[in-house]
Amino acid sequence: MLKLRVALACALTLGALSPALAQDTQRLRTDKAEVIVETVARDLQNPWGLAFMPDNRMLVTERAGRLRIVDANGALSEPIRGLPKLAVRGQGGLLDVALDPNFAQSRLVYLSYAEDRGEGRAGTSIARARLSEDGKALESLQVIFRQEPSYTGGNHWGSRLVFDREGNLFVTLGDRFDLRNQAQNPENHIGKIIHIKPDGSPAPNNPFLNREDARPEIWSIGHRNVQSAALNPSTGELWTVEHGARGGDEVNIPQKGKNYGWPVISYGVDYSGKKIGEGTKKEGLEQPVYYWDPSIAPSGMAFYTGDKFPAWRGSILVGALSGKLVSRLDTNGNRVTGEERMLQQLGERIRDVRQGPDGFVYLLTDSHNGRILRMKPAT
């Protein structure tokens, strides 16, 4: 585990940059590569998730409640019809998107979102639907999973979607902010990572299948608000990055049935400045692989495996919201061995990070006038 502290003055400097000053194309230097960052598409309202289709077009969610197709020239389709009933409030709305592993034949799309449950309550839900042949509508939509209990608050929905090598789905679920103590309770879905089959039923290797006092969908417990998740291409293991409070953002490799500590242990403090829980370590609770203090507010991650940036192969690229950067983490097996902070000059909140089929890196900027950015080598 590697601990990194960055001066508060540096964080304030990064925060002072205005996204409005960002240019359409910028040439920037990183430790191992000089890069060009170019705008692929604009005029997206708080884009949240991105998935590449087999023809290299992109499906992009907007948190305000729109799903669009973006072509190679950056043209946005009209909003796709047939979305589920959303609760667009606070940090909630339409969130992540993932394609069925057999999308070329099935045309199935999976969405995570804040679902309006009525009477002011909402919860993270997962729906799947068939994308029509003309790409204009979702057909035969089914809600396959609902986080329980629902709640009136507007924060900490979690919501990343990752298919494993067997075709089952990992879903990250937040602690809904006010319900954080429930992250330790296996009888509900608050602050959990779940593992489900494509129809929403529990995956067959889940740890709590035969326990009456636990939800069978649960994979791991004790999470705060996981907004970054990806499979390690070398091992097939799920890696995640989750928000801390004031400090304590964590990289974890969630193992089945294990407890990742929130809110009993944390490397951060509460927003009031008070201590959280019992400290940073406790027997029976897992330690992070890596953490940040102060927080960078991580969201979106990708393992880089492409050929466009050879020096980055094996690195993890993590977007940062309050940090307004991309963190490149060097890895050695299951260890993080170093960090490089990139693209601070953009002054953009980075919501999602994806490696494209072309080997370039694609980023979503989280703003009312959000963009899709593409990072390419300068040579």
Residues annotated as catalytic are 156
Over its C-alpha atoms, the chain yields an Rg (Å, rounded) of 19
The residue count of the chain comes to 379
The dihedrals phi and psi of 151, each to the nearest 5 degrees, come to: -155, 160
Distances in Å between the alpha carbon of 343 and those of 13, 71, 307, 337?
13, 25, 20, 20
Task: Give every strand in the sheet of 66-70, ordered side by side.
Answer: 47-52, 58-62, 66-70
Taking the C-alpha atoms of residue 271 and residue 194, their distance in angstroms, rounded to an integer, is: 28
List beta partners, residue 124. Answer: 114
Cα atoms found within 13 Å of the Cα of residue 288, Cβ hemisphere only: 27
Using an 8 Å Cβ cutoff, are 243 and 298 in contact?
Answer: yes
What amino acid occupies position 325?
Answer: L
